[in-house]
Structure formats: structure tokens, C-alpha cells
Amino acid sequence: MAAPFRAASLAVGTQFRLAGRDATCLQELEDQLLIAWNVYTDPVTGEVTPPTTDMIRMEDVSRFSRSGELEIISLPTPPASAASHQERIALSRPDSGATARALYRQSYNDAVEELVSQGVIPVRGVPPVSPDSLAGVER
């Protein structure tokens, strides 16, 4: 039977703390993560645990995250490049199609406002204008 939700995962390069010990996610595999534990000194006994690597299941990451045992220290930052910066700028600019659509909508709104101001289109709460009352109005 399929799981009702996807187990939580950590992006490669994420630094986190689990049970008081710092680690870094090195690689995401199918349903496990390869992590590197940093040097750890037990505050009670003074025992020093050397750095090591370990595998942790994503289901366990989900469980630790839900229980509050997993603390994210830092997320990986994507490498900054001039090309990606230019791409982000280009994506934020409207294309010619979007500009054309905006101008069309604006012209439609301007036309409706003009018709309302001339009394051709009635406004809610304002009685409609009869053609006879517009006899002296210039067009």
C-alpha cells in the first residue's frame, strides 16, 4: 500500500542538528540520506566522537522533524552566477503579450468609464439617463 504522504527530505548541503549533534546532508538516495556527522563532544562525559558518515531513512527525518528533534541550522545556497541573475531579471519583466493584454484591458476600462460619464451606461443606484435628456449634450 502506498504511503499517504511523501516522507520529508533534506536538500543536499543542509546543515542540521539532531539529538544535539551537528550534521550535513551529503546525498539524497531513493529513500535514504547520506549524512556526515561533525565532531561531537559529550558535555557530560567529555567523550569525543570523531566525524563519521551515516545513512538515515527519510521516514525517520519526517518523524524527527514532526517531534521537534530535528533543527535546521542552515539551508544550502545556490551558486550565484551572472547568467542566473540575468534570467531572474528577464522573468520578472512582462513579455510583449502581457503588455498587449494589459493595454487592451486598460482601453476597455477607459471606454466603459467614458460611456458611464456620458450617461450611456447606467450606474447602480443612479437612475438611467433617457435619450431626451441628452439632447443638449455635445458628443
What pTM, to 2 d.p., does this model score? Answer: 0.52
pLDDT in tens, 8-36: 678 899 999 998 899 999 999 888 999 99
Which tops the pLDDT comparison, 16 or 135? 16
Answer yes or no: is pLDDT of 139 > 60: no
Give a three-class secondary structure readout of 55-106: EEEHHHHHHHHHHCCEEEEECCCCCCCHHHHHHHHHHHCCCHHHHHHHHHHH
CB 25 within 8 A of CB 37: no
pLDDT in tens, 85-122: 777 777 777 777 788 888 899 998 999 888 888 888 88
* Helices and strands, counts by H and E, the chain: 3, 7
